[in-house]
Structure 1
Amino acid sequence: MSTDASGDGDRDAADLLPARIDSVRVAGTPDGPVPVVCIAVEEDGAAAGDAREDGTDSAGGPDGELVGEVLPIFIGFEEARSIVRGMEAEPLGRPMTHDLTLDIVEELGGRVDGVVVSRLEEGTFFAELRLNTPREDVTVDARPSDSLALATRTNAPLRVAAAVWDDAAEDADRFAELQDVREVFEGDE
């Protein structure tokens, strides 16, 4: 795990696209079912999915409907559960790992300032967790799944490096019919 005290990595802010988690779904793979986080962006500066007065989102479709392109990031079931719990602000009583991590950051006077899906190497996504601490702003290399789980708990902004989007965005239709991961978890609880 490395840190960068500059807080902006080596990337120009113009190379970062505002984004949001559109959905967390379950894809069938040769190895069995795997959760996939579908991230949506819009290059004009609005995060895809932002509601408009006409009932459509900024990507052009009705709320909750995948349209255009998404960045699919395949993750584990526990990370998917944590992301969904953060999105729904679901209280658990005892803190889980991401809740504990956030509690530690906040108890030490820090806060999560944002998440950047920063690069893609050999099919693996990497992220930067941007923290504001009492001493300085810090960027920590982190898995996208962990970073997204923390961002959902704090409403921290999510951004995607334009080069990552250009390389890995896929047609949202490929994921539109996949089962919502929450439906899978309903049987567990």
Structure 2
Amino acid sequence: MPVVVLSFEERCDVLPIFIAFEEAMSIARGLDAEDLGRPLTHDLLLDVMEELGGRVDNVVVSDVDEGTYLADLVIATPRGEATLDARPSDSLALVARTNVPLAVAPHVYEYGRRDPEEFEDLDDIREVTHT
């Protein structure tokens, strides 16, 4: 199962978020700014937001419920700010495309933090998907 390992400069530990392969591929494509000619779901979502005058402002991994992480997708719209409940994997795919700030609530970080050495031998999804 793919994992996104979040690390922060001020911390010596990391926060792993396990995600589905499809979302991992979307995140990798977003990080690489890969253009496939036709929009994928996350690209389409950003296009729709832009067409309606909105944009992603930031993402917060805001809570954990029975081991499942929850995220808030904060959207700036012509009517003001809107916060949408979102899966962290979808939110990370949007962060990869927009470079908006990503935050993790302190209690979520404390719940899931791990030693980075546990993840040293992982393959980079970009390397796996381009072979």
- Which residue does the alignment assign to 1:133? 77
In the alignment, which residue of structure 2 is the partner of 1:122?
66
Alignment partners' CA distance in 2, 1:135 and 1:186: 41
Aligned partner of 2:5 in structure 1 is 38
Partner of 2:38: 94
Percent identity, aligned pairs only, is 57
Aligned to 1:5: none
Aligned match of 1:20: none
* Length-normalised TM-score, structure 2: 0.95
How far apart are 1:96 and its partner, in Å? 0.3
Q: CA deviation at 1:183?
A: 2.4
Higher helix share: 2
Structure 1 unaligned regions, length at least 5: 1-33, 42-47, 49-57, 60-67
Give the TM-score, by structure 1 length.
Answer: 0.67
- Secondary structure of 2:109's counterpart equals helix
1:84 correspondence with 2:49: no
The SS at the match of 1:179 is: coil
Q: Distance in 2 between matches of 1:90 and 1:127?
A: 25
Spell out the pairing of 1:22-171 with structure 2 (5 A cutoff).
Answer: 34-41=1-8, 48=9, 68-171=12-115
Answer with 1 or 2: which has the greater Rg. Answer: 1
Q: CA RMSD in A?
A: 1.2
| Structure 2: runs of 5 or more not aligned | none
Deviation at 1:186, TM superposition (A): 2.0
Query: Corresponding residue for 1:54?
Result: none
Q: Which runs of 4 or more aligned residues in structure 1 lie more than 4 Å from their structure 2 counterparts after TM superposition?
A: none
